[in-house]
Every structure is written in structure tokens, then in C-alpha cells.
């Protein structure tokens, strides 16, 4: 992969989103939770999309969810991913509610929707740790 091209796709780490990235580096999925209405949100935002409260805390969440949908990208849309096609994207509904798009860290034998997954953290090509999802342990447990 073209690491320079990939790094351009990564968002800047800002004072507001830093807790998320610190969480990734520490192996923990952290989301903002509204102090007033209690709702988790993703992406990060200075106000709650539900009640517009400016008061929120970053909390470690379960890291579990289910595959709401998936697709496999065949078209080269980004220079960084030109050599990666085809690659699979999963859209995961976190147990706390928000949906997050990412990739699977491992290919399960059988992929189906509503399959339970858990978040895992992997270094991206430039080194920044990003959240991905795994079906591994949960499938064997089920």
C-alpha cells in the first residue's frame, strides 16, 4: 500500500477527538456519552445530536456489536487502496447503538448479517492504530 496516500485519508488528531485515538492505542473503544441524556454518539461532536447538550464524557464501551451489512469494494476509488481490491467493508451496529464502518481483521468461514463481532485494534499502514472487527472468538463461543 502507498503509505503516504493512506495517511492523507486519516483524520487529524485534534483535542476533541484525541480520547478516541488514545483509546485505540490503549486497545479500548471509547465513545462520547451525553452527560444529560445518556446517549452514546459516533462520530464525535461537541454537542449531543439528540438533546444538543454540550456536556459529554468519553467512556470505554463494550466493543461488541453485530454486522448490520457488508460490501466488497472492487472499484479503485482511492490511490491508497488501489492494490487492495477487492476488500470487504463491514457496517457494524455497536451494542450501544451507533453504526461504524470498518474492515474485518480476519475472514470468517461463513459471513452472514447479524453475526456478532467484537472490536479489535490493528496498526494501519502508517502505524496509527485503528478499530477493526473480528468474528473469531464469538463464533466459536456461540
Residues that bind another protein (CB under 8 A): 6, 9-11, 14, 16-17, 39-46, 48-50, 68-75, 77-78, 80-81, 84, 86-87, 89, 91, 97-103, 112-114, 124, 130-131
Minimum separation from the CB atom of position 86 to another protein (A):
7
Q: Which residue has the cell 487529524?
A: 12
Q: Which residues pair with 66 in a beta bridge?
A: 93, 116
CA distance 18 to 3: 22
Between 77 and 109, name the residue whose CB sits nearer to another protein.
77
Composition of the chain by helix, strand, coil, percent to 5: 15, 35, 50
Between 35 and 50, name the residue whose CB sits nearer to another protein.
50
Minimum separation from the CB atom of position 138 to another protein (A):
19
Minimum separation from the CB atom of position 45 to another protein (A):
6
Residues 6+ away with beta carbon under 8 Å from 31: 20, 40, 41, 42, 58, 59, 61, 94, 96, 98
Minimum separation from the CB atom of position 94 to another protein (A):
8
Amino acid at each position: 500500500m502507498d503509505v503516504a496516500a493512506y495517511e492523507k485519508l486519516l483524520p487529524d488528531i485534534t483535542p476533541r477527538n484525541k480520547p478516541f485515538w488514545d483509546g485505540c492505542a490503549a486497545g479500548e473503544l471509547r465513545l462520547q456519552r451525553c452527560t444529560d441524556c445518556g446517549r452514546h454518539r459516533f462520530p464525535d461532536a461537541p454537542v449531543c445530536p439528540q438533546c444538543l447538550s454540550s456536556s459529554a464524557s468519553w467512556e470505554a464501551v463494550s466493543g461488541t456489536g453485530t454486522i448490520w451489512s457488508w460490501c466488497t469494494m472492487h472499484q479503485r476509488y482511492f490511490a491508497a487502496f488501489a492494490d487492495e481490491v477487492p476488500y470487504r467493508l463491514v457496517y457494524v451496529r455497536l451494542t450501544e447503538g451507533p453504526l461504524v464502518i470498518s474492515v474485518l481483521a480476519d475472514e470468517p468461514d461463513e459471513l452472514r448479517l447479524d453475526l456478532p463481532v467484537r472490536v479489535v485494534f490493528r496498526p494501519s499502514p502508517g502505524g496509527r492504530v485503528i478499530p477493526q472487527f473480528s468474528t473469531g472468538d464469538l463464533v466459536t463461543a456461540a
